Chain A
Amino acid sequence: MAIFEVDNLSLHYLTRFGKKIHAVTGVTFNMEKGEILGIAGESGCGKSTLVNGLMGLFIPPLYPTSGDVRVNGESLMNRTPNDIRQNVLSRKVSMIPQGAFNALNPTRKVKDIAADVMAAHLKNVDKKEIYDRLVERFDLFGMDTKKVLNSFPIQLTAGERQRSVIGISTLLNPQMVIADEPTSALDVTTQKVVIRLIFDLLEKGIFSTMIFITHELPLLRHVADNIGIMYAGEFVEYGTTDQIVFDPRHPYTKALMGAMLSAEPGQKQKKPTAIEGAPPNLANPIFGCRFADRCPVAKEDCKKSEQEIRMVAGRQVRCQYAE
Chain B
Amino acid sequence: MLKQYPTLRYILQRGGWYFITFVVAVAINFYLPRLGSNNPVKIIMGNTSQGLSSEAVKEKEEKYLKEFGLVKVKNGNIVRNEDGSPVKASILEQFISYVGMCFKGDLGTSFQKYPKKVLDVIKEAVPWTIALQLPTILFGWIVGNVLGALAAYKRGIFDKVFFPISLLLSSLPFFVFGMLLVYQFAVVWDCFPAMGGYAGDLIPTFSWAFFSSAAYHYVLPFFSIFLIAAGGQAIGMRSMGIYELGTDYIKYAKWLGLKETRIIAYLFRNAMLPQLTGLALSLGTMIGGALITEMIFSYPGLGMAMLTAIQNNDYPMIQGCTLLITVCVLIANFTVDILIGFLDPRVKAGLQIGKGK
Flag whether A108 is at the interface (Cβ < 8 A): yes
Q: Which residues of B contact A154 (CB under 8 A)?
A: 345-346, 349, 357
Q: Which one of B248, B273, B357 has the highest number of Cβ atoms from chain A below 10 Å of its Cβ?
A: B248
Flag whether A117 is at the interface (Cβ < 8 A): yes
Q: Is chain B's binding surface mostly helix, strand, loop or mixed?
A: helix
Nearest-CB residue, chain B, relative to A101: B248
Which stretch of A89-97, A234-242, A252-260 is in the interface?
A: A89-97
With A107-B344, A154-B346 known as contacts, the answer to whether A102 contacts B249 (CB < 8 A) is yes
Flag whether A168 is at the interface (Cβ < 8 A): yes
Instruction: A103 to B266: give the CA distance in the assembly, Å.
Output: 12
Q: Verify B257–A89 contact, CB threshold 8 A.
A: yes
Contacting residue for B252 out of A55, A103, A120, A121, CB 8 A: A103
Q: Verify B256–A152 contact, CB threshold 8 A.
A: no
Flag whether A116 is at the interface (Cβ < 8 A): yes
Contacting residue for A121 out of B253, B257, B343, CB 8 A: B257
Instruction: A121 to B256: give the CA distance in the assembly, Å.
Output: 10
Flag whether B258 is at the interface (Cβ < 8 A): yes
Contacting residue for B270 out of A84, A90, A91, A106, CB 8 A: A106
Q: Verify B248–A97 contact, CB threshold 8 A.
A: yes
Within the complex, the shortest CB–CB distance from B244 to chain A, in Å, comes to: 10
Q: Which residues of B contact A88 (CB under 8 A)?
A: 257
Nearest-CB residue, chain A, relative to B251: A97
Flag whether B262 is at the interface (Cβ < 8 A): yes
Q: Verify A120–B249 contact, CB threshold 8 A.
A: no
| Residues of chain B in range 242-277 having any CB-CB distance to chain A below 8 Å | 247-249, 251-259, 262, 266, 269-270, 273
Contacting residue for A120 out of B259, B269, B349, CB 8 A: B259
With A105-B270, A154-B349 known as contacts, the answer to whether A89 contacts B248 (CB < 8 A) is no
Instruction: A169 to B269: give the CA distance in the assembly, Å.
Output: 22
With A105-B249, A106-B249, A154-B357 known as contacts, the answer to whether A97 contacts B266 (CB < 8 A) is no
Flag whether A77 is at the interface (Cβ < 8 A): no
Instruction: A155 to B350: give the CA distance in the assembly, Å.
Output: 9
Q: Verify B253–A105 contact, CB threshold 8 A.
A: yes
Nearest-CB residue, chain B, relative to A88: B257
Q: Which residues of A contact B247 (CB under 8 A)?
A: 102
Within the complex, the shortest CB–CB distance from A109 to chain B, in Å, comes to: 8
Instruction: For chain A, give the interface size range.
Output: 20 to 34
Q: Which residues of B contact A116 (CB under 8 A)?
A: 253, 256, 258, 262
Nearest-CB residue, chain A, relative to B257: A89
Q: Which residues of B contact A99 (CB under 8 A)?
A: 248
Q: Verify A107–B255 contact, CB threshold 8 A.
A: no
Instruction: A86 to B343: give the CA distance in the assembly, Å.
Output: 30
Q: Which residues of B contact A102 (CB under 8 A)?
A: 247-249
Instruction: A57 to B257: give the CA distance in the assembly, Å.
Output: 10
Q: Which one of A95, A99, A107, A152 has the highest number of Cβ atoms from chain B below 10 Å of its Cβ?
A: A107
Contacting residue for A55 out of B253, B255, B345, CB 8 A: B255
Contacting residue for A106 out of B256, B257, B345, CB 8 A: B345
Q: Verify A120–B345 contact, CB threshold 8 A.
A: no
Q: Verify A117–B270 contact, CB threshold 8 A.
A: no
Q: Verify B343–A95 contact, CB threshold 8 A.
A: no
Instruction: A155 to B259: give the CA distance in the assembly, Å.
Output: 26
Q: Which residues of A contact B349 (CB under 8 A)?
A: 152, 154-155
Nearest-CB residue, chain A, relative to B343: A107
With A97-B251, A99-B248 known as contacts, the answer to whether A106 contacts B259 (CB < 8 A) is no
Within the complex, the shortest CB–CB distance from B123 to chain A, in Å, comes to: 41
| Residues of chain B in range 302-357 having any CB-CB distance to chain A below 8 Å | 343-346, 349, 357
Q: Verify A120–B343 contact, CB threshold 8 A.
A: no
Q: Which residues of B contact A95 (CB under 8 A)?
A: 252, 255-256
Q: Which residues of B contact A91 (CB under 8 A)?
A: 257
Q: Which residues of A contact B343 (CB under 8 A)?
A: 107
Instruction: A89 to B346: give the CA distance in the assembly, Å.
Output: 29
| Residues of chain A in range 123-182 having any CB-CB distance to chain B below 8 Å | 152, 154-155, 165, 168-169
Within the complex, the shortest CB–CB distance from A321 to chain B, in Å, comes to: 40
Q: Which residues of A contact B249 (CB under 8 A)?
A: 102-106
Nearest-CB residue, chain A, relative to B346: A154
Within the complex, the shortest CB–CB distance from B27 to chain A, in Å, comes to: 38
Instruction: A16 to B191: give the CA distance in the assembly, Å.
Output: 48
Flag whether A20 is at the interface (Cβ < 8 A): no
Nearest-CB residue, chain B, relative to A121: B257
Within the complex, the shortest CB–CB distance from B178 to chain A, in Å, comes to: 37
Within the complex, the shortest CB–CB distance from A118 to chain B, in Å, comes to: 10
Q: Which residues of B contact A55 (CB under 8 A)?
A: 255
Nearest-CB residue, chain B, relative to A155: B349
Within the complex, the shortest CB–CB distance from A167 to chain B, in Å, comes to: 12
Q: Verify A89–B256 contact, CB threshold 8 A.
A: yes
Q: Mark B58-99, 1 if CB is under 8 A from A, else 0.
A: 000000000000000000000000000000000000000000
Q: Which residues of A contact B346 (CB under 8 A)?
A: 106, 152, 154
Q: Verify A103–B270 contact, CB threshold 8 A.
A: no
Instruction: A116 to B343: give the CA distance in the assembly, Å.
Output: 19
Q: Which one of B253, B256, B259, B346 has the highest number of Cβ atoms from chain A below 10 Å of its Cβ?
A: B256
Q: Which residues of A contact B256 (CB under 8 A)?
A: 89-90, 94-95, 116-117, 120, 168-169
Nearest-CB residue, chain B, relative to A154: B349
Q: Could you list some 22 contacts between A and B, CB below 8 A?
A: A85-B257, A89-B255, A90-B256, A97-B255, A99-B248, A102-B247, A103-B251, A105-B270, A106-B249, A106-B270, A106-B346, A107-B269, A107-B270, A107-B344, A107-B345, A117-B256, A119-B259, A120-B258, A152-B345, A154-B357, A155-B345, A168-B256
Task: Write the residues of chain B forming the contact surface with A, with a CB cutoff of 8 angstroms.
Answer: 247-249, 251-259, 262, 266, 269-270, 273, 343-346, 349, 357
The 10 closest A-B pairs by CB, nearest first: A89-B257, A103-B252, A152-B345, A102-B248, A95-B255, A154-B349, A85-B257, A105-B249, A120-B258, A90-B257
Q: Other than A86-B257, A103-B248, A155-B345, give 17 A-B pairs with Cβ distance below 8 A.
A: A55-B255, A57-B254, A57-B255, A85-B257, A88-B257, A89-B256, A97-B251, A107-B343, A108-B269, A116-B256, A116-B258, A117-B257, A120-B256, A120-B262, A121-B257, A152-B345, A154-B345
